Amino acid sequence: MAKLDGPYTVDITAVGAQGDGLTIGGPRNAPIFVPLTLPGERVSVQLDGQRGDLEEILAASADRVSPPCPHFGDCGGCALQHWDHAPYLAWKVEQVRIALSRERLETEFATPFAAPPGSRRRLALHARAVRGGAVIGFKARRSWRLAEIAVCPIADPRLVAAFPALAKLAKPFLEHPKSAPTLHVTWTATGLDVDVTGVERRSGGLSADARMDAAAAAQEGQMARVTLAGETVFEVRQPMVRLGPATVALPPGAFLQAVPQAEAAMADFAIAGLGGATKVADLFCGVGTFTFRLAQSASVKACDSSALAIKALSSAVASAPGLKPIDAETRDLTRRPVLIHELAKLEGVVLDPPRAGALEQTAEIARSKVGRVAYVSCNPTTFARDARVLADAGFKLERVLPVDQFLWSPHIELVGIFSR
C-alpha cells in the first residue's frame, strides 16, 4: 500500500507484541504500529498502511531513556533500548500473563530474571562485501540492508573485541556473488567458535583458495574453530563449554542458551520445581544444558533429535564423575514422543522444546502418571497451548519464572512448574 498523505499526529497508548508503539487512530481508525515509541507519547508519523514511520516526538514519555548503543534505530537487533528498565521488564512479564490468560490459566509469577548488558555469548552476524573487504552487522530495521556495527552493548565484550577479526574472516565466504554469509559466533571456554551459513554451494561451494584464506584469517584472529554449515574449515582447539558439573565439546552449530546466567537461572528453577525427584527425563536435551545438573541428584533419560548433540552429551559424562546414570538417546520427540509406558518409570520431566512447542510429547505426559513437570519455553503462546493440555489432565501450573534472556528485544522466555 502506498504511503498516505500526512504527517499525522497520533497518541501512543501501548506497546505491541513486536515491541512497536501501538495506537488506534489514523484515517481509518485502525491499529497503527510505530517503532521506537512508548505509551503516553504524542508523535508525528507518516503512515504506510498500519505502519507509521516516526518523524518527530512531540511529547516524550517520562519512561524514555537515552539508548546505550550508537547503532540503535538503524540496527534491527534491538527494539526497546529507549525504554526505562522497570516498565520494559514489566511489559515483558505481561506478555506471558496475556498468553496464559488466553488459555484461561493463572499462576504465581517469580521475580523475573533479567540478562545484564554485555552477557550474550552468541551472535548471528551477517556479512556483506565492500570494496577491499567485508563488513559485518545485523539486518537494518524493516530492511534487508546490512547495518554495520562497531559495538554491541548486549554482547560479551570478548565478542565485540573480535568484530574486526570476524570481518576479515567473512571476506573469503563472499567469493560467490550470490553468497550472503551469516556468522553464527559463540564464545566458548577455549575461544571463538564460528559456524558459517548462507554460502552459495550449487556452483561448487567455497574454492580451495577461499578455504585457505578463511583458515589464515581464523588463525590470525586466534579462533578455536571455523565451520561451513558444520563442515570443518579450520580448527586448532575443540570449542568447550561448561554445563553445570560437566565440560562438553560443542558440535558445530549446536544449540546453546545465549546467556550463561539465564541458563543457570532456568536450570535452578526447573530443578527446584521437580521437588527432589530421583528418576527424571530431560526431553529436547540438546548437549545437556539441564541433563548434567539434573544428574547430580537423579538418574536421567535424555532425548534429543540431534545425533551430534547426544554424542557430545554422552562423551562429556566422563568429565563429571559422581553423576547418577544418564541414558542418552537420539530421538525425534515430535514424531516419536516418549510414551506412557516409558514415562511410568519416571517421577519428573524437564522439557525444553523449540518455538513450536511440544504438543505431541505434552499429550503423552498428560496421559501418564508423572507427578511433576518443568517446562522451559522460548514462546509463551505455544507454552500456554501445551499448558492447557496438562491442566485439562489434572496438572496445576504452580508458578512461572519469566526470563528476559534477549535484552531489549520483544522476546520473553519462561520456565513453568506443573504438579498433579
Beta strands in 271-389 (DSSP E): 279-283, 299-304, 326-330, 348-351, 372-377
Task: Check 69, 78, 152, 378 and give the catalytic one.
Answer: 378
Output b/e per residue, 201-221; b: 16+ Cβ within 10 A. eeeebbeeebbebbbebbeeb
Pairwise CA distance, residues 223 & 218, whole Å: 5
Distance in angstroms (rounded) separating the CA atoms of residues 208 and 187:
27
Q: Collect contacts of 292-296 with beta carbons under 8 A, ≥24 apart.
A: 292/243, 292/244, 292/245, 292/246, 292/316, 292/320, 292/323, 292/326, 293/243, 293/244, 293/245, 293/267, 294/350, 295/320, 295/323, 295/324, 295/325, 295/326, 296/244, 296/245, 296/322, 296/323, 296/324
Distance separating alpha carbons of residues 54 and 36, to the nearest angstrom: 8
SS3 content of the chain, % helix, strand, coil (to 5): 25, 30, 45
Does residue 100 contact residue 136 with C-beta atoms inside 8 Å?
no
E strand or H helix at 180, and its extent?
Answer: none
Whose grid coordinates read 545485523? 138
Is 378 in the active site? yes
Who's near 303: CB < 8 A, 6+ residues apart?
Answer: 281, 282, 283, 284, 285, 328, 329, 330, 331, 333, 338
Q: Contact 248/312 with Cβ under 8 angstroms?
A: yes
Report d(CA 71, CA 78) in Å as an integer. Answer: 9
Catalytic center residues: 378
